[in-house]
Amino acid sequence: MDMPTLTIGSRTARLPIVQGGMAVRISLSPLASAVAEAGGVGVIAGSGLSVTELAEEVSRARAATEGVIGVNVMVAVRIFKELVQAAIAEGADVIIAGAGFSRDVFGWCKDAGVECVPIVGSARVAKLAERFGASAVVVEGVDAGGHLGTDRHVDDLLPEILDAVDIPVIAAGGIATGADIKRMLDAGAAGVQMGSRFVGTQECSASDAFKAMYVAATEDDIVLTRSPVGLPGRAIVNPFTERLARGDYPAIERCRACLKECGKEYCIISALERSQQGDVTTGLVFAGTSAARVTDVLPVAIVMERLVEEWRDAEGGASR
């Protein structure tokens, strides 16, 4: 019994699993290429990288696999256009855009023969994306990690968006197991996007301390927190999130003008960089609710095999 494939425009992945693009520097070429090589869609997070850094990451991933490679860039970042165009130039197959909506990105992708996949949180935005030429959409529910564009669960959003569009819909938010994948596919999704589960892999570029936070986290440890991007964020509770909850924002030592609009309560890129490098006390550890179900750190190939076996077990149980 084989899992369904996932086709996004002209690109087809052997497995319907998209690895979430996690910034800053959590999802880089080692993780993306390993997922793509194992049959999924591997995704590099471009937000927080320079144009040169992103180009190098895409080039490394492209050299390591013939599988499907995507790049996720937040529309909210100031150099959104430059990052997208660098990813396209280096051979990315798919551009995933979230934290805002850009009409221009559809044209850039179409001109280059690259698939454009916006992240959406409503049927209205999904319809708009299809009208502009999206190859697929990711519907991301409130259980996702990082910045959140909705307060609704993916199970509630998915039927509405499936009714609204004819392009493939990829479900995201709180998905951690093969049984979760089966539930989403049975509900009509063409595939799933999973971020937090891939933090618990050897190829993920997060620090060991960052990964250990995931392995130790319980459901009660995963909270909503404030972000200067203007959207709520989901993270693992630590002294930094507790400080934010008190309204005690650390001073910005040097503004890098990384966002088009920033509330300037604190420097989020610095907070994310600190945690990626191992400072999980004064850094921000973004995570989805499914981080509470990450119990070990394994090679990507083993994680993918487990997901397939869990899906098969769930399929077999349903058919009995």
Query: What pLDDT score does 320 carry?
Result: 42
Query: pLDDT at residue 1 above 90?
Result: no
Rounded to whole angstroms, the Cα distance separating 82 from 118 reads: 17
- Give the pLDDT confidence of 25-62 residue by residue, as tens digits: 999 999 999 999 999 999 999 999 999 999 999 999 99
CA quadruple 171, 173, 175, 176: dihedral, nearest 10: 140
Query: What pLDDT score does 4 carry?
Result: 96
Report the candidate in 44, 74, 73 with the shortest Cα–Cα distance to residue 58.
Answer: 44
Query: What pLDDT score does 99 carry?
Result: 81
- Give the pLDDT confidence of 12-28 residue by residue, as tens digits: 999 999 999 999 999 99
- Give the pLDDT confidence of 275-314 residue by residue, as tens digits: 999 999 999 999 999 999 999 999 999 999 999 999 999 9
Q: What is the mean pLDDT of the chain?
A: 94
Report the candidate in 214, 170, 167, 168 with the shortest Cα–Cα distance to residue 191.
Answer: 170
Query: What pLDDT score does 318 carry?
Result: 60
Mean pLDDT of 190-212: 97
Please state, for a pLDDT cut of 70, what percent of the chain lies above it.
98
- Give the pLDDT confidence of 230-289 residue by residue, as tens digits: 888 999 999 999 999 999 998 888 877 777 677 788 888 899 999 999 999 999 999 999
The answer to whether 58 and 52 have CB atoms below 8 angstroms apart is no
Domains recognised in the chain with CATH numbers:
14-205+296-319 (3.20.20.70), 208-290 (no CATH)
- Give the pLDDT confidence of 124-137 residue by residue, as tens digits: 999 999 999 999 99
Please state, for a pLDDT cut of 90, what percent of the chain lies above it.
82
Query: What pLDDT score does 317 carry?
Result: 67
User: How open is the CA angle 73-299-208, to the nearest 5 degrees?
Assistant: 70
3-state secondary structure labels for all residues of 133-184: CCCCEEEECCCCCEECCCCCCHHHHHHHHHHHCCCCEEEECCCCCHHHHHHH
Query: pLDDT at residue 184 above 90?
Result: yes
- Give the pLDDT confidence of 101-120 residue by residue, as tens digits: 889 999 999 999 999 999 99
DSSP 248-283: -PPP-SS----BSS---SS-HHHHHHHHHHT--SSS
Query: What pLDDT score does 255 carry?
Result: 78
Query: pLDDT at residue 161 above 70?
Result: yes
Q: Which amino acid is at 217?
A: A
H or E element that contains 97: strand 94-98
Query: What pLDDT score does 14 carry?
Result: 98
